[in-house]
Amino acid sequence: MDRINVKEKNIKELEALSDEIRKRILEVVSKNGGHLSSTLGATEIIVAMHKVFDSQKDPFIFDVSHQAYAHKLLTGRWEEFDTLRQFNGICGYTKPSESTDDYFVAGHSSTSISLGVGAAKAIALKGEQDERIPVVLIGDGSMTAGMVYEALNELGDRKYPMVIILNDNEMSIAKPIGAISRMLSSAMASPFYQRFKKNTESFVDNFGEGARYIAKRMEESLKLVTPGMLFEEMGINYIGPVDGHNIAQLVDIMQTARKLNKPVIIHAQTLKGKGYEIAEGKEEKWHGVGPFDLSSGNSAKKAANKSATQIYTESLLALCEKNEKIVGVTAAMPSGTGLSELIEKYPTRFWDVAIAEQHAVTSMAALAKEGFKPFCTIYSTFLQRAYDQVIHDTCIMDLPVVFALDRAGIVGEDGETHQGVFDVSYLRAIPNMTLFAPRDEKSFHQAMGFAAKYEHPCSLRYPRGSFIETDLPESAPFELAKSQLLQTAKSDILLIGYGNGVGRAYETSKYLDEDVTILDLRFVKPLDEEMLKELSKKYKKWFVFSDTAKLGGVASALLEFLAKENILDISVVSFEYEDEFITHGNTKVVEESLQLLPEQLAQRIKAYNP
């Protein structure tokens, strides 16, 4: 289907189109999985955006962009939408390489207003203010990150024309104040009010400071009964709250906002899961879903083996019972990281600080300074956002913060922005940081016990979903810089696994024609140098298995060690990820495209001839 010409449709037609968009989203997401409640709630807002603005000309900037499915459907991707989040299919986030209507990649939160400010500066420099205006759609969750306020601070000072739509599906506004606010916002959004405000400003300017002071106080008294006082004080016009499902009102307000030639925030209130009664409301489980039965809402997937996240939760709960000094934090992902149970059981010791990874890390550093043992529980991909805090506030002080990195390795359908492949590379460079990884349930409990007693910064990583199961010997207790030799053989081949890479090494070994030696590296910093020296005497072909980036990764650490020791007769082959961003799709399909399935790796080993 071609692009849908929204501009020629009347309000009733736009309302009907919104219903069709919701049906299409539900049809595909129930089959493929994806983000659901927020994108259903944003449908009318996005339809109104396309009615008033032009995504081929105006930068449409979506924060996180998991709520942009309606935008994709309106811009020529209706039929192709069946491939949502599938390998070589439509991405679950905006992606300029997919469509010129997608202005920017956006898989992480709270970048949209900064992008809007940058786009507005470029538009001003090009002299295109009469033709183009940035349009930003941001959710209230993204408003919890400091980067938003850094951007608003400059925007309020520079006054670049921009329309920011705040999709509020969580904020609670008391009913009496909300009723007054809605009444006032209707007036504030009208052309009459905006003309009156402008003319009044010009009028009082002729009567000196006294008149300006009285007018200012009168305006401020009105703002006190709206949620927009903060934005107005920052120098940004505020309109709202408005009904985010009323297309007629949204279109009128956006048209008014466009004509103001100023930065404007439109505060639209929406219902998560709008149009799908089972998902309507605030339940976190409907934010991102796997395939499900549309009639019942039940998951279509069978229960899998215990996930690494479940093991983490169980282990941390057990440690908390023994040690009241253990505390922890997550950044807006309590369910995803398994911290919900900790927050419920120990509400004064575990916190969700919203989308604020930098604050999460620094606050835990202070708790460590005060004698507590913090577990900073964040997805691998999201810890990137707090890299300075890891270095400056944790490692320079050599504080015993544990960084528990969930979703390490390929995470599948979320794609480039979420693949947890860089943590070893970026953490290994930091002095005082220790890196280790479990390979199964028992070793995870042992790794957690080690982390709880360790007196320095450390990080352990674990995969999305379950560990790869093996028939290898049971894990031995964790000791600093100690690996575990799991099986030995006469051949000169050594398979070195790190974390979930141990399971991959084991699976690969089953496709080889000869028995091989397998080492669970456990620690990539510091390395088990004594073990590696001994192994270097007998095994001359080292194959490294780890769900990490090749540059600066596990094999790099081993090569640095061999160079330091002047051991020059070892061939090291890395089966880590190449220097490229990894696309979205089913994890097994993605791994097959990267030649990383066990049978493919075995063929590469057989063909290797140094």
Q: Which residues are catalytic?
A: 272, 357, 385
Residue 593 among known ligand-binding residues = no
The whole-angstrom separation of Cα 410 and Cα 403 is 19
Residue 584 among known ligand-binding residues = no
The whole-angstrom separation of Cα 401 and Cα 451 is 9
The tokens for 495 are 């398979």
Place of tokens 């955006």: 49
Q: At what angle do helices 175-189 and 247-259 cross, to 10 degrees?
A: 50
Cα 273 to Cα 52, 238, 276: the distances in Å are 24, 26, 6
Residue 338 among known ligand-binding residues = no
Residue 18 among known ligand-binding residues = no
Strand partners, 544: 496, 574
Residue 108 among known ligand-binding residues = yes
Sequence-ordered list of residues with C-beta below 8 angstroms from that of 473, at least 6 positions apart, any chain:
486, 487
Are 361 and 386 a contacting pair, CB within 8 Å?
yes
The beta-strand segments (E) located in 262-391 are 263-269, 288-289, 326-330, 350-352, 373-379
Q: Is 183 left (phi over 0), alpha (psi -120 to 50) or beta?
A: alpha
Residue 392 among known ligand-binding residues = no
The whole-angstrom separation of Cα 380 and Cα 582 is 15
Q: Are strands 237-243 and 162-168 parallel, antiparallel or unpaired?
A: unpaired
Helix (DSSP H) and strand (DSSP E) numbers for the chain: 23, 19
Place of tokens 């974390």: 499
Give the three-state DSSP class for 244: coil
Residue 186 among known ligand-binding residues = no
Give the three-state DSSP class for 437: coil
Q: At what angle do helices 43-52 and 11-32 cross, to 10 degrees?
A: 130
HEC string of 458-508 equals EEEECCCCCCCCCCCCCCCCCCCCCCEEEECCCCCEEEEECCCHHHHHHHH
The tokens for 290 are 């796997």
User: H or E element: which one contains 45?
Assistant: helix 43-52
Residue 387 among known ligand-binding residues = no
At residue 142, what is the residue type?
S
Residue 154 among known ligand-binding residues = no
Residue 328 among known ligand-binding residues = no
The whole-angstrom separation of Cα 25 and Cα 30 is 8
Sequence-ordered list of residues with C-beta below 8 angstroms from that of 360, at least 6 positions apart, any chain:
329, 330, 331, 353, 376, 378, 386
The whole-angstrom separation of Cα 145 and Cα 355 is 5
Q: Are strands 34-35 and 288-289 parallel, antiparallel or unpaired?
A: antiparallel
Binding residues for thiamine diphosphate: 66, 107-109, 141-142, 169, 276, 357
Binding residues: 66, 107-109, 140-142, 169, 276, 357
Binding residues for Mg(2+): 140, 169
